[in-house]
C-alpha cells in the first residue's frame, strides 16, 4: 500500500511552516511565488491530496454547488449530459465541483435529496426538470440560493432559466416561410384524442411562435394543418401521414420534436415523397442521434440545455440568486440548419 503523506511531511520537505503549506493549498495570496512553487513541487512529488472532509469542517463550506436533477428521469436522458456539462464547466472554471442527485418523480425523495445537499453545505442548488413545466418545491429549498432549470414555480418567486419556446417555434416556421412555403403543417405535442394542447409551456409556446410567423407573412392560421401527438412512434407516423394525405397537402411540416420528425420521415417515404424536394421537415430539440442520423440530416431547433446549466451556475455564483428580484431568464433556442428544409 502506498504511503499516505500529510501537511507536516510537505512542510518538512519544502523547508517551510505548516501554515505556509495550508495557505498554498487554500490559494492564499500572502505567499511568494518562489515559496508557492517549491511547495507545489513537493505536493506533486508526494502525490498529495488534501482531506476534503477535514477542510469542510474547518471552513464550513464544501466548495460545491449541488445540482439536483429531480422530479423526472432527466439524469437518464441524453439531454442531461449537456445540462450537466454546462453547469460543471462553469463550476470548474471557479475551482469548484458538483454533486448530482436524481430524485425521480417521488416527492419524498426530492425532500431527502435536498436535505442531503444542504447537509453538505452546498453553496447553491440547481433544480432541473427534463421537460419545461411548472414545479412545486419543499420549503427547505429556500435555505440556500436556488435556480430552477427547465422549470419554474407558478408565482415566479424563485429564479429560473427556461427555453424561449415562442422564439423557437417562430424561428422554425419563419425558416420554412423564407423558403417559399405557404402551407405548413404543425404536429404539436399534446393529447391527440381531444386534439387540444396540454398545459405545457413547450406546446403552447411553439404554437404561439408558429402563429406569429404566419401572421408576419399575412397567412391565416388553418386549424386543419394542426394536430397533436402523444409522442409514441406509432402516433407520430399516423399523424404525419394524416396531414400529408390532406387533399391540399402541405409543402412543409413543422414537428414538435425530433422524434415526431422521424415519424414524419417514415410517412413521407411510404407515400413516395422526398425530403425536402416534395415536403420540407423541421424538428425541435436537436436530439443529435436523430437530427444527425436521418437522411437528409434534419433542420431543427436546439433546446439550450448546455446554456441553461451554465447560466444557472453563473447566476448563483454572481450572488444575484441571494438578493433582488428573482430573474426569469429565457434561453435562446437557435435554429440548426441542415438539409431537410
pLDDT tens digits, one per residue of 27-73: 667 788 889 899 989 888 887 766 554 555 455 555 555 555 554 55
More confident residue, 130 or 177: 177
Q: Looking at the structure, do residues 297 and 313 belong to the same domain, yes or no?
A: no
Model confidence at 167: pLDDT above 80? yes
Q: Looking at the structure, do residues 292 and 188 belong to the same domain, yes or no?
A: yes
Q: Looking at the structure, do residues 175 and 293 belong to the same domain, yes or no?
A: yes
Is residue 337 in some structural domain? no
The pLDDT of residue 57 is: 47
Is residue 315 in some structural domain? yes
Average pLDDT over residues 212-240: 95
Model confidence at 225: pLDDT above 90? yes
Q: Looking at the structure, do residues 192 and 268 belong to the same domain, yes or no?
A: yes
CATH number of the domain bearing residue 21: 1.10.260.40
pLDDT tens digits, one per residue of 271-312: 999 999 999 999 999 998 899 899 999 999 999 999 999 999
Ranked by mean pLDDT, the top range of 3-7, 115-119, 161-165 is: 161-165
For residues 234 and 240, give the distance between their C-alpha atoms in angstroms, rounded to a whole number: 10
Q: Looking at the structure, do residues 217 and 318 belong to the same domain, yes or no?
A: no
Average pLDDT over residues 107-114: 78
Over the chain, what HEC string results? CCCCCCHHHHHHHHCCCHHHHHHHHCCCCCCCHHHHHHHHHHHHHHCCCCCHHHHHHHHCCCCEEEEEECCCCHHHCHHHHHHHHHHHHHHHCCCCEEEEEECCCCHHHHHHHHHHHHHCCCCCEEEEEEEEEECCCCHHHHHCCEEEEEEECCCCCCCEEEECHHHHHHHHHHHHHHCCCCCEEEEEECECCCCECCCCHHHHHHHHHHHHHHHHCCCCCCHHHEEEECCCHHHHHHHHHHHHCCCCCCCEEEECCHHHHHHHHHHHHHCCCCCCCCCEEEEEECCHHHHCCCCCCCEEEECCHHHHHHHHHHHHHCCHHHCCCCCEEEECCCEECCCCC
Least-confidence region, from 15-19, 240-244, 254-258, 303-307: 15-19
Q: Looking at the structure, do residues 89 and 122 belong to the same domain, yes or no?
A: yes
Q: Looking at the structure, do residues 294 and 318 belong to the same domain, yes or no?
A: no
Is residue 295 in some structural domain? yes
Is residue 338 in some structural domain? no
Is residue 175 in some structural domain? yes
Is residue 340 in some structural domain? no
pLDDT tens digits, one per residue of 141-153: 777 888 999 999 9
Contacts of 245 (CB under 8 A, 6+ apart): 271
Is residue 174 in some structural domain? yes
CATH number of the domain bearing residue 211: 3.40.50.2300
Q: Looking at the structure, do residues 189 and 294 belong to the same domain, yes or no?
A: yes
Q: Are 328 and 159 in contact (CB under 8 A)?
A: yes
Q: Looking at the structure, do residues 209 and 315 belong to the same domain, yes or no?
A: no
In angstroms, what is the C-alpha Rg of the chain?
26
Q: Looking at the structure, do residues 265 and 228 belong to the same domain, yes or no?
A: yes
Overall domain count for the chain = 3
Q: Which domain holds residue 14?
A: 7-50
Q: Looking at the structure, do residues 15 and 96 belong to the same domain, yes or no?
A: no
The pLDDT of residue 2 is: 46
Model confidence at 9: pLDDT above 90? no
The pLDDT of residue 66 is: 55
For residues 169 and 186, give the distance between their C-alpha atoms in angstroms, rounded to a whole number: 10
Is residue 206 in some structural domain? yes
Which percentage of the chain shows pLDDT scores above 90? Answer: 49
Contacts of 163 (CB under 8 A, 6+ apart): 132, 150, 202, 303, 304, 308, 330, 331, 333
Please count the other Cβ atoms lying within 10 Å of the Cβ belonging to residue 341. 25
The pLDDT of residue 322 is: 67
Contacts of 339 (CB under 8 A, 6+ apart): 276, 296, 297, 299
Of 212, 231, 201, give the one whose Cα is nearest residue 134: 201
Q: Looking at the structure, do residues 184 and 298 belong to the same domain, yes or no?
A: yes
Amino acid at each position: 500500500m502506498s504511503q499516505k503523506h500529510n501537511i507536516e511531511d510537505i512542510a518538512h520537505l519544502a523547508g517551510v511552516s505548516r501554515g505556509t503549506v495550508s495557505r498554498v493549498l487554500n490559494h492564499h495570496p500572502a505567499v511568494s511565488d518562489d515559496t508557492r512553487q517549491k511547495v507545489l513541487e513537493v505536493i506533486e512529488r508526494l502525490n498529495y491530496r488534501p482531506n476534503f472532509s477535514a477542510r469542510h469542517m474547518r471552513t464550513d463550506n464544501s466548495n460545491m454547488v449541488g445540482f439536483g436533477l429531480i422530479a423526472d428521469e432527466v439524469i437518464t436522458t441524453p439531454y442531461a449530459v449537456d445540462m450537466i456539462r454546462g453547469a460543471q464547466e462553469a463550476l470548474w472554471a471557479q475551482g469548484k465541483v458538483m454533486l448530482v442527485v436524481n430524485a425521480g418523480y417521488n416527492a419524498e425523495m426530492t425532500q431527502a435529496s435536498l436535505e442531503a445537499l444542504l447537509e453538505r453545505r452546498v453553496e447553491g442548488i440547481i433544480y432541473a426538470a427534463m421537460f419545461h413545466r411548472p414545479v412545486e418545491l419543499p420549503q427547505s429549498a429556500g435555505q440556500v440560493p436556488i435556480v430552477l432549470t427547465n422549470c419554474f414555480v407558478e408565482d415566479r418567486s424563485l429564479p429560473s432559466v427556461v427555453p424561449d419556446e415562442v422564439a423557437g417555434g417562430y424561428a422554425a416556421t419563419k425558416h420554412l416561410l423564407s423558403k417559399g412555403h405557404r402551407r405548413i403543417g404543425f404536429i404539436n405535442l399534446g393529447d391527440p384524442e381531444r386534439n387540444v394542447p396540454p398545459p405545457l409551456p413547450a406546446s403552447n409556446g411553439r404554437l404561439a411562435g408558429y402563429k406569429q410567423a404566419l401572421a408576419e407573412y399575412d397567412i391565416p392560421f388553418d386549424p386543419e394543418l394542426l394536430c397533436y401527438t402523444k409522442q409514441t412512434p406509432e402516433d407520430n407516423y399516423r399523424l404525419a401521414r394524416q396531414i400529408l394525405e390532406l387533399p391540399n397537402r402541405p409543402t412543409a411540416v413543422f414537428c414538435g420534436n425530433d422524434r415526431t420528425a422521424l415519424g414524419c420521415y417514415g410517412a413521407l417515404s411510404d407515400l413516395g415523397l422526398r425530403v425536402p424536394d416534395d415536403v420540407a421537415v423541421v424538428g425541435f430539440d436537436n436530439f443529435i442521434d436523430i437530427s444527425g442520423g436521418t437522411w437528409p440530416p434534419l433542420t431543427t431547433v436546439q433546446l439550450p440545455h448546455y446554456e441553461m446549466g451554465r447560466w444557472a451556475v453563473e447566476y448563483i455564483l454572481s450572488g444575484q440568486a441571494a438578493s433582488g428580484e428573482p430573474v426569469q431568464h429565457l434561453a435562446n433556442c437557435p435554429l440548426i440548419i441542415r438539409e431537410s428544409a
